[in-house]
Amino acid sequence: MDLKTLYREVILDHYKTPRNTTPLSAPSCEADCRNPSCGDKVRVQLRLDDGLVSEVAIIGNGCAISQASASMMTEAVKGRRVVEIEAVMEEFRRMVMGAGSEADREVLGDLMILEGIARLHARVKCAMCGWSALDAALNENGSDVNLDEDTELPASSQH
Amino acid sequence: MNSHSPAGSGVSTKYDVARIREDFPALRRTVKGQSLVYFDNTAATLKPQTVIDTITRVYSDFPANVHRGIHQLSEEATEAYEAARLKAANFINAGDPDEIVVTLNTTDSLNHVCGSWGEANIGPGDEILTTEMEHHANFVPWQQLCLRKGAKFQVARVLPSGQLDREDFDRKLSERTKLVAVAHVSNVSGVVNPISELAAQAHRVGAVFVADCAQSVPHMPVDVQALGADFVSCSAYKFLAPFGVGLLWGRKAILDAMPPYRTGGNMIHSVSTEKTRFNVAPHKFEAGTPSIADVIGMGAAIDYLQAIGMQAISDYEHELSRYMHEELLKLPGLSIAGDWFPGKPAIASFHLDYAHPHDIAQFLNEEGVAVRSGLHCAEPLHCSLGLSSTTRASLYLYNTHDEIDRLVAAIRTVEEIFA
């Protein structure tokens, strides 16, 4: 799929009318992700019920890819078990980072349409913004992920 | 000296851009099936064949180290390296080639001033004054120095027009100010600061003045003696030279009094187990082996620019700038960071009210147009102007009116998709 088609058929729809944008009144967990080099910002809020994401909300602004990817993420996680979501997150990360091996269509489903992002190296961070916030919400409630920092470094060595 | 004498050399007075373009091999390539329109010159410029050939000649004929050997190759390398320093001195009208320190880039040049002069001269209660329109290279080192030293970091505001708020600058300049650091030309708004006036003001309170000339030296005649600053920094790869070369100019007396920034090879006079005597400026600041071929390549870039003439380049770019601003501002939903002013450099950082800069840059690339999107290492300025990020088109001596038309047409494709 060429870039214009990808934007026209998928990305702009989610960018202009993002899904699940009503803030949750009492989220079980939430986290922010920001990409300071371009101003992309996504907050993810989750309501967890018995190991299942019953409600999800995103609040953010930024480029079309960052916001559309976050919007599609909400559709992919709503109503699913956290263990399944962890698998989707991992597979999505592998896909957009261009892990080499073919992405798992069964795990990713509709998200496969964003496969082409792997070729746009400068945009991978944009596509990951909502997903990084989701990961942080599930695993480090209340955190604020900064995509410009090398997250692989231990926090103590960043100063 | 080479077979690629640029247009504008000799007696012809007409600026022959078609002839100039032939000197740049990258302009012959295509992007996405279309001829390249390269509008990211604020970040780095393309390289003319003469610069590429010069690098090849160094590696072919005398790929030896400088300032060490008595053998022929080392002597040839040293001679060419020092000749490049002399060309740089002449290019910015330094009074003495010993005032030219070869660095890696503007960030490195400014870190020399910060790490050497700043560490030695800034203390608790002192103040450093800079502006909101600085590139991070002329902002973060001073901010961090102030934090280390217990000094006060003062930042003069910019007006909504993008111009420096002179009243705020005057208010924040005082007897406590020890150093003032200001860009000659903003890499986002293209604003040209009155460096000689600001430097005179700084000198009246006894402060040292640093002018970041990264965006002026490539585009207009710059005379460091007339500017009146004490330090001037620039990046050679922004004026057709190879990557890995920057320049720091400093007044001889100040450089002589400064301690070295880095120590080790090349920068010493004598070394014993007890003590080291350092070499004189500029050598005491050039620790270790420099990127020799690239520095000599910078000499070729300066020859190329001077053959055309910096005034001719500046005049041509002003005309391009006028046309670009005129055409861009006809587009619905487009605004440009900072107001237009006559003589504005050919930099336009724009905002479209229907699309994000990353998406814009992505679709311009689909049309073969290379621009930059984001904060352009100037986050305080974007914040001050109320912009989250912008898309920047920045032109140089080889760009044309037709290419500006290509930019405008490419923006229309973005409009078609997003609006």
Number of neighbours of residue B149 by Cβ within 10 angstroms = 18
Number of neighbours of residue A109 by Cβ within 10 angstroms = 12
Say yes or no for a CB contact (<8 Å) between B375 and A62: no
* Tens digits of residue pLDDT in B255-296: 999 999 999 998 999 999 999 999 999 999 999 999 999 999
Say yes or no for a CB contact (<8 Å) between A123 and B362: yes
From the CA of B337, how many Å to the nearest CA of chain A? 16
The DSSP line for B365-394 is HHTTEE-EEE-TT-HHHHHHTT-S-EEEEE
Helix A82-96 and helix A64-77, axial crossing angle in degrees, nearest 10: 150
Say yes or no for a CB contact (<8 Å) between B379 and A36: yes
Contacts of B379 in chain A (CB under 8 A): 36
* Gyration radius (Cα) of chain A, Å: 15
- The whole-angstrom separation of Cα B99 and Cα A76 is 62
- The whole-angstrom separation of Cα A85 and Cα B315 is 59
Tens of each residue's pLDDT in chain B, 419 residues: 444 444 444 444 689 999 999 999 999 999 999 999 999 999 999 999 999 999 999 999 999 999 878 899 999 999 999 999 999 999 999 999 999 999 999 999 999 999 999 999 999 999 999 999 999 999 999 999 999 999 999 999 999 999 999 999 999 999 999 999 999 999 999 999 999 999 999 999 999 999 999 999 999 999 999 999 999 999 999 999 999 999 999 999 999 999 999 999 989 999 999 999 999 999 999 999 999 999 999 999 999 999 999 999 999 999 999 999 999 999 999 999 999 999 999 999 999 999 999 999 999 999 999 999 999 999 999 999 999 899 999 999 999 999 999 999 999 999 999 98
Each residue of B25-44: b (16+ CB within 10 Å) or e?
Answer: eebeeeeeeeebbbbbbbbe
Interface contact A62, partner B, CB < 8 A: yes
Contacts of B357 in chain A (CB under 8 A): 38, 63
Say yes or no for a CB contact (<8 Å) between A36 and B388: no
- The whole-angstrom separation of Cα B61 and Cα B59 is 6
- Strand B177-183: give its sheet, edge to edge: B100-103, B246-250, B231-235, B208-212, B177-183, B127-131, B152-156
pLDDT at B5: 44
pLDDT at B13: 62
Say yes or no for a CB contact (<8 Å) between A63 and B418: no
- The whole-angstrom separation of Cα B419 and Cα B413 is 10
User: Taking the model in full, what pTM does it have?
Assistant: 0.92
* Tens digits of residue pLDDT in A7-54: 998 999 999 999 999 999 999 999 999 987 777 899 999 999 999 999
Interface contact A64, partner B, CB < 8 A: yes
Each residue of A97-107: b (16+ CB within 10 Å) or e?
Answer: eeeeeebeeeb
**Environment class of residue A124 by beta-carbon count within 10 Å: exposed (0-12), middle (13-18) or buried (19+)?**
middle
The DSSP line for B128-175 is EEEETT--GGGTHHHHHHHHHHT-EEEEE-B-TTSSB-HHHHHHH--T
Report yes or no: A30 and A137 within 8 Å, Cβ to Cβ: yes
B121 Ramachandran zone, left/alpha/beta (phi>0; psi -120 to 50): alpha
Number of neighbours of residue B275 by Cβ within 10 angstroms = 7
Contacts of A157 by beta carbon, 8 Å cutoff, 6+ apart: none
Angle at A42 between CA A37 and CA A14, to 5 degrees: 105
Question: Which A positions 79-138 lie with beta carbon below 8 A of chain B?
Answer: 120, 122-123, 126
* Tens digits of residue pLDDT in A137-154: 999 888 888 886 544 322
Specify the 3-state DSSP secondary structure of B216: coil
Percent of chain A with pLDDT over 90: 65
* Tens digits of residue pLDDT in B315-366: 999 999 999 999 999 999 999 999 999 999 999 999 999 999 999 999 999 9
Task: For an interface test with B, give the residue of A38, A147, A159 to mutate (most B CBs within 10 A).
Answer: A38
Interface contact A37, partner B, CB < 8 A: yes
* Tens digits of residue pLDDT in A88-131: 999 999 999 887 677 788 899 989 999 989 889 889 999 999 99
Between residues A6 and B43, the one the model is more confident about: B43
Contacts of A88 by beta carbon, 8 Å cutoff, 6+ apart: A76, A77, A80, A107, A108, A111
Which amino acid is located at B131 in the chain?
T
Least Cα distance to B199 among B176, B221, B174, B230 occurs for: B230
Q: What tokens does B239 get?
A: 């004026």
B253 Ramachandran zone, left/alpha/beta (phi>0; psi -120 to 50): alpha
Say yes or no for a CB contact (<8 Å) between A38 and B359: no
C-alpha dihedral, B24 to B29 to B30 to B34, nearest 10°: 50
β-pairing verdict for B369-370 and B37-38: parallel
DSSP class of residue B349 equals E
Q: What is the ipTM of this complex?
A: 0.85
pLDDT at B4: 45
Contacts of A35 in chain B (CB under 8 A): none
Taking CA atoms, B280 is separated from A66, A79, B81, B83, B99, in Å, by 53, 71, 17, 18, 11
Greatest Cα pair distance in chain B: 72
Report yes or no: A157 and A46 within 8 Å, Cβ to Cβ: no
Q: Give yes or no: B377 in active site.
A: yes
Catalytic residue among B114, B213, B234, B377: B377
Confidence of residue A70 (pLDDT cuts 50, 70, 90): very high
Distance, CA of B273 to chain centre:
41
